[in-house]
Chain A
Amino acid sequence: MPIATRVWEWEISSKTSVWNHSLQELWSYRHLLVGLVRRNFILNYQQTVLGPIWILFQPILTLITFVVVFHKIADISTGALPPVLFYASGIVLWNFLSDSFIGTASTFKENVQVFSKVYFPRIIMPISVIGTQLLRFGMQFFMLLAIIIYYSITTDLQLQTGLWFLAFPMAILLTAAISLGMGLLFSILTAKYRDMSNLVTLGTRLLMFVTPVIYPLSAVPENTRWVVELNPITPVFELFRLSILGEGTITVVHFFYSLGFIVVLLTGSMLLFNKQGDKLIDVV
């Protein structure tokens, strides 16, 4: 054997492994990730009059609608909390979840052009979508805090958050994890079977009704509560409200059910995404 035979640095074969990126490789693409987040953010508001103000405008309009429809007309209970605060917190987190999910679910469909011309770890794309949405969520979250502060100054509202307040990053992280997990899974399905993309938008809309966005879990009648409790997203929303507004129903069992579901979903879909990612270019 000649000494010159260095070990091969890479190998391409028909086998696709579930974990084919080293963390080192992903790290070397960090600038791409930042660049993509920046690009997505800029693109959303290119050539609009209001620009990034839309990020705040959209939840405010939704909030007004919700207050009128669900509070004034339908008169759905929001528990001990004032309706505005209750809906605002739900809308902000739900927007983050649904926009992230819908955004990542179309990863392959949207990026065929780039994916079919150059290689980079595909997972960078969906992560960049989550990053962009996280940025938007951050701005909406500050608006939410401003509304809460306004309420606690002008009204005699007493928020009992206490130490629970420290749990809000957890709720945000879990929301990001759910949407990434579902998004990765559906990005593969929508790439292969186009009908799935209809399911994504319709499903997201319907999913909102079994998640405590417009009603608290405590207001759901006992006999149908299991439906909402079965939804692993429910504890995350309850935890979010508990941490910033001091009102929420969450049990240890329920929380770990949700956490377990999210961990399995995210790992599973990441592995699937890695394994299927390279093959999909042939079929998209």
Chain B
Amino acid sequence: MSETIIEIENLYKMYRLGVIGTGSFKQDLQRWWTANVLRKEDPFFQITQGNKQDTSPETIVALQNINLKVKHGETIGIIGKNGSGKSTLLKIISRIVRPTHGTVRGKGKISSLLEVGTGFHQELTGRENIYISGYILGMSKHDIQRKFDEIIAFSGVEQFIDTPVKRYSSGMYVRLAFAVAAHLEPDILIVDEVLAVGDADFQKKCLGKMREVSQAESRTILFVSHSMQAIKNLCDKAVWLHQGQMQAFGPSAAIVNKYLTSTQDAHLLQVWHTQDEAPGNDLVRIRSVELEPQLASPDAPLDIRTPLTVRVQFWNMQEETVLNIGLHLFTASGECVFDLPSPAVTCAKGLVEGECTIPGNFLNDGSYYVSIIIVRDTSISLYYHEECLRFELEDYRENIQWYGKWWGAVRPQFPIQLKQAMLSIPQDSI
């Protein structure tokens, strides 16, 4: 059982909204007066029933009652939507901002990488920037000198090391900056979204380095990312923050699943109960469209393995017509993935139902929407119900150590093989 290296207790952070201006100066005076002269409770921050309740409408609560223990050597992922308090939490642990209430205690040296290129200056050369940035991130002169060659080699900008970085391409700049950061050796490393910059190749390099670092035994890492795949692969545990509160904490795979299920922006069912309000025309009217994912378990996220069943019901208001439907699937950017027509069927007046199942392991991850067309005599379009269903598929990868965006609109599992065709014959034996 390893020891606790960071302990977060009852942590709160509030921000006052609005511009700092004369109003705030007055408020500052007022605050100072009540707190220090009258010795009363801070009027902007009061405790009611054991909970921190903010009385002023102009403050927002960025973090609320965070309690967390991080053990030595653990890699912890922090997930949540934008504005859920992830970065604030990292900033507090990095000593950049102060909490409003509560404490963080810890042991060992912390380095935080909240952006790539902290302390870099455009006018300075690559060499000068390596030193300045290294010092700012907490490296000693000795450390930098020892790793200098390694840093340059990792960045791949040897030729330009004595050129001001303002003449670098943005890619070179980012590579050099990350190279410095990657050679830090703290006890606790705090990383925020480094993967958001650079090209796919560079991201791969970053994640590779992260993996290398996280496997070094003595290192404890706190890692914020929007890449669920990266969190699942790199982190032992994950924290899910929602509106400043800790929604869940536990093994990363389970937490990621919970998080994904809750965030999926899906538009899976549309029903109209009377014909008057239903979309359509005098010939046909839609009663319902529905997308039912065939989930393995109720709390599983909608990922690329999930088969999806689309059902549509409509009222046919014509006598004896030959009808068929078409299912159009589009990617979020509006490209049609497929246009699937049903067989034509002779239908009487009344309700007509269609169903189609898109198999699992067919679509790639991403957002999709469905449109449905109703056709008479396989030639005349009666009604086109556009963008009636919308869904998002999460990524799922097994045994793949690459985290970049997978290409393509579809990711089918056709049989594909690789085998050794012939052994190479040593030259001298010929």
| Interface residues in chain A, defined as those with a beta carbon under 8 Å from any beta carbon in chain B | 4-6, 8-14, 16, 28-29, 31-32, 35-36, 38-39, 42-43, 46-47, 114-120, 192-193, 278-279, 281-283
Tell me if B103 and A12 are in contact (CB < 8 A): yes
Within the complex, what minimum Cβ distance (angstroms) separates A114 from chain B?
6
Tell me if B123 and A46 are in contact (CB < 8 A): yes
B414 within 8 A of A: no
Tell me if A8 and B105 are in contact (CB < 8 A): yes
Docked complex: B68-121 residues within 8 A CB-CB of A: 91-108, 110, 112, 114-115, 118-119, 121
User: Hey, which chain B residues are within 8 Å of A32, CB to CB?
Assistant: 132, 135-136
Tell me if B118 and A115 are in contact (CB < 8 A): no
Complex formed: what's the CA distance from A13 to B96 in Å? 12
Other CB < 8 Å A-B pairs besides A12-B105, A14-B101, A193-B20, 13 of them?
Answer: A8-B105, A8-B106, A11-B106, A12-B99, A13-B104, A16-B98, A39-B128, A43-B124, A46-B164, A118-B138, A119-B112, A192-B24, A283-B20
Q: Which residue on A lies nearest to B110, using beta carbons?
A: A119
Tell me if A14 and B99 are in contact (CB < 8 A): yes
Sampled A-B contacts (15; CB under 8 Å): A9-B107, A9-B108, A11-B104, A12-B104, A13-B102, A16-B98, A32-B136, A39-B121, A117-B115, A118-B94, A118-B96, A118-B137, A192-B20, A192-B28, A278-B95
Cβ-neighbour of B103 out of A11, A28, A281 (below 8 A): A11
B140 within 8 A of A: yes
Which residue, B105, B124, B136, has most C-beta atoms of chain A within 10 A? B136
Tell me if A193 and B25 are in contact (CB < 8 A): yes
B3 within 8 A of A: yes
Tell me if A117 and B3 are in contact (CB < 8 A): no
Tell me if A117 and B114 are in contact (CB < 8 A): yes
B173 within 8 A of A: no
User: Hey, which chain B residues are within 8 Å of A36, CB to CB?
Assistant: 132
Cβ-neighbour of B96 out of A4, A5, A43, A119 (below 8 A): A119
Tell me if B140 and A117 are in contact (CB < 8 A): no
Tell me if B25 and A12 are in contact (CB < 8 A): no
Known: A118-B118, A118-B119. A10 touches B105 (CB 8 A): yes
Tell me if B140 and A28 are in contact (CB < 8 A): yes
Tell me if A282 and B132 are in contact (CB < 8 A): no
Within the complex, what minimum Cβ distance (angstroms) separates B224 from chain A?
14
B15 within 8 A of A: yes
Total of A-B residue pairs, C-beta within 8 Å: 107
User: Hey, which chain B residues are within 8 Å of A39, CB to CB?
Assistant: 121, 124, 128, 132
Tell me if A35 and B3 are in contact (CB < 8 A): no
B131 within 8 A of A: yes
User: Hey, which chain B residues are within 8 Å of A29, CB to CB?
Assistant: 135
Nearest 6 CB-CB pairs, A to B?
A: A32-B135, A119-B95, A8-B105, A12-B104, A13-B103, A31-B141
Tell me if B3 and A4 are in contact (CB < 8 A): yes
User: Hey, which chain B residues are within 8 Å of A43, CB to CB?
Assistant: 121, 123-124
Known: A13-B102, A42-B124, A117-B114. A278 touches B107 (CB 8 A): no
Complex formed: what's the CA distance from A193 to B25 in Å? 8
User: Hey, which chain B residues are within 8 Å of A118, CB to CB?
Assistant: 94, 96, 112, 114, 118-119, 136-138
Known: A12-B92, A119-B95. A42 touches B128 (CB 8 A): yes
Interface string of B130-150 (1 = CB under 8 A from A): 011001111011000000000
User: Hey, which chain B residues are within 8 Å of A6, CB to CB?
Assistant: 3, 107
Tell me if B136 and A116 are in contact (CB < 8 A): no
Tell me if B102 and A14 are in contact (CB < 8 A): yes
Complex formed: what's the CA distance from A120 to B360 in Å? 51
Tell me if B96 and A117 are in contact (CB < 8 A): yes
Within the complex, what minimum Cβ distance (angstroms) separates A116 from chain B?
6
Within the complex, what minimum Cβ distance (angstroms) separates A54 from chain B?
16
Docked complex: B138-183 residues within 8 A CB-CB of A: 138, 140-141, 164
Docked complex: B397-416 residues within 8 A CB-CB of A: none
Complex formed: what's the CA distance from A120 to B98 in Å? 14
